[in-house]
Structure 1
């Protein structure tokens, strides 16, 4: 800030015309004012110098802080401040002694003061790969498995005789026709998107009816569709029940909705009461009790999908439901388990084999049969079908009658 100046020449011309006392007092007052203004200017200059000095000091502090951060990030050995150099040297010595005592464990903090600020994410992560996740079944699941084992012989159909039937000469459903009907029923099940229990019960009901009653080949598609309708009424809500008229059109099983409902009544009468239908022990019931062993929901859903595909073959479904469920669970559990959990999976599987009274050889045999059927059916596409128009008799007669306008048309000349 500039110092105030005074015009001396003009003041002296005025002083010559005034008395001495007044001039002396005016000089002294002007002198005081000039000193005061000079003091104010000096104070302003010192304040500006002090501000610039503090600004330079702040910039130096920022630079030194950035250098310190760069040093900690890159592990360098130099910074500008001598005190920080001594402290860092001391911290490095302490860290080297700690690393040697801890078996060479590295530490990212370089000084004692900075070690208090270090967070957990700066420390190296520790992985315990030797620890395996605990795998076990609850007491309730084991009790339900024992109950299912008790009901298994009463509700599992013995369909091995279907391989010995000649459908052409005996006019009865054989293994090939049964597999074809259940395979088409699976596509119908995917269309309605009902629960997997619905499809498992439908297959069980259809096979048990085939075992009890002589079914002609032309009725097998209607039988499978009616079994699916019964299973849907047992398990699903009433709002999700398939409509018989639409179900007949989608399944293309032949006949009408009344024929489908009559087949439903026949199945219920042959299999006696409703309790006999609902208490069936299917392979899916065993697999549901093993759901807690699967590492994820996606792995369990893949196992359920493979089980649905396996039910389309009599060669696979002739095995016991517990064996079929355990073979599929074993395949997916071993595929999803890591090296650390493999021993735990083997231990649980051995306990289940003892509970089901199975041998590892029987599981390997069923696994091979499942793999062959699944690989064959997954690559297969449903047979193409012609589009059938459902028209009334009057419309059909009018379509077949020759048009009266055809004779009124002139013949087309080729020349």
Structure 2
């Protein structure tokens, strides 16, 4: 009886947390109008297009793993990046500096202070062609535009919460629902701009439901429906985003996925910097490339977002890195995309 009481208290607490995060998630979503403008931008030297944004997110993924940081750091860095890009008109040459700043801001929220690298080290490791002064200036701009509100409710927040709720209400073996695999799949989705337009709660539930479908567990499937009901996510919204997520994961796992030369990222580190770096810095993971879809060429509205160019001309971006390799990290590719669940 005592154990049952503890489980009920735990369940009640989890659903209270779910309610709190559902009420907060809208505050940390990037402006859809700003994201749509990026989505429809044709690539040129004066405008930020989806390919450049996605490539920068891949860089953030690589940096996160290079420094041995948590998935939460990567997801939060992407959230900060997208929220800022959806507010400001950013030139491509500024993107490298902005990306490093978002990485540093996220690391300060998530990681232990003693593990956070200096700006000088991050500039060296990321091959970012800007100075410490540039980073500090850009960090001030980002902080002010986002009102210093960095600790966000993200899709990872919901993924962890959903995972815990499901495991607390099922008799299935706990290891069946692999959280590391779900996190890796979320990282892949983060590398595509379109998923920044999805509600974090919906994106997380899509990943969970696709994994449960692959496991073919009726008990877990019933729990997904239970979570969906409590999250007040409609069938139409879930099915719409599930289809996009399923296609994204199938693209990643397919051998036909467009990857340039499968070259590993080569970090340029001075002898002086190398002496100050931890051993873990040298364990560089491999990073997959996202196949790109076409953009719609539409003119931008003048009042859609602020122009970043004023006063920031000295900031420049580094040349694109060769970051090509295998699908996810330790995950085995699937040969076919997942089918829909029946509702």
Tell me the TM-score normalized by structure 1. 0.55
Q: Which residue of 2 aligns with 1:144?
A: 17
Gaps of 5+ in 1: 1-133, 392-415
CA contact (8 A) 2:29 2:196 kept: no
CA contact (8 A) 1:232 1:242 kept: no
* Larger helix fraction of residues: 1
Aligned position for 1:211: 86
Instruction: Give me the whole-angstrom Cα distance separating, in 1, the residues matched to 2:269 and 2:200.
Output: 42
**Cα distance in structure 2, aligned partners of 1:297 and 1:238:** 34
CA displacement at 1:167 relative to structure 2 = 4.1
Contact 2:127 2:268 in 1 (8 A): no
In structure 1, the partner of 2:37 is 161
Deviation at 1:296, TM superposition (A): 2.1
Match among 283, 286, 289 for residue 155 of structure 2: 283
Q: 1:375 to 1:252 in 2, by over 3 A?
A: farther
Q: Residue 98 of structure 1 corresponds to which residue in structure 2?
A: none
Change (3 A) 1:322 1:216: same
The answer to which structure, 1 or 2, has the higher relative contact order (CA under 8 A, 6+ apart) is 2
CA contact (8 A) 1:284 1:325 kept: yes
Partner of 1:350: 225
Alpha-carbon separation, structure 2, partners of 1:383 and 1:164 = 30
1:326 Cα deviation (Å)? Answer: 0.3
| Equivalent pair of 1:160/1:314 in contact (CA under 8 Å) | no
Q: Distance in 1 between matches of 2:195 and 2:112?
A: 31
1:261 CA displacement: 2.5
The match for 2:244 among 369, 385, 389 is: 369
CA distance, structure 2, for counterparts of residue 375 and residue 258 of structure 1: 42
Judging changes above 3 Å, is the alpha-carbon distance between structure 1 residues 335 and 202 closer, same or farther for their aligned structure 2 residues? same
Tell which structure's C-alpha radius of gyration is larger.
1
Aligned counterparts of 2:222 and 2:245: Cα–Cα separation in 1: 23
> TM-score by structure 2 length?
0.66
Structure 1 segment 207-356 matched on structure 2, within 5 A: 207-273=82-148, 276-278=149-151, 280-292=152-164, 293-294=166-167, 295-296=174-175, 299-336=178-215, 338=217, 342=218, 344-356=219-231
How far residue 148 of structure 1 moved from its aligned partner, in angstroms, is 0.9
1:331 Cα deviation after fit? 1.7
Equivalenced residues, count? 250
Unaligned runs of 5+ in 2: 1-6, 168-173, 272-343
RMSD between aligned alpha carbons?
A: 2.8
Aligned to 1:360: 235
Separation in 2, partners of 1:214, 1:318: 18
SS, match of residue 277 in structure 1: coil
CA displacement at 1:362 relative to structure 2: 2.9
The alignment partner of 1:290 has SS state of helix
Equivalent-residue separation in structure 2 for 1:306 and 1:190 (angstroms): 15
- What's the offset of the Cα at 1:226? 0.8
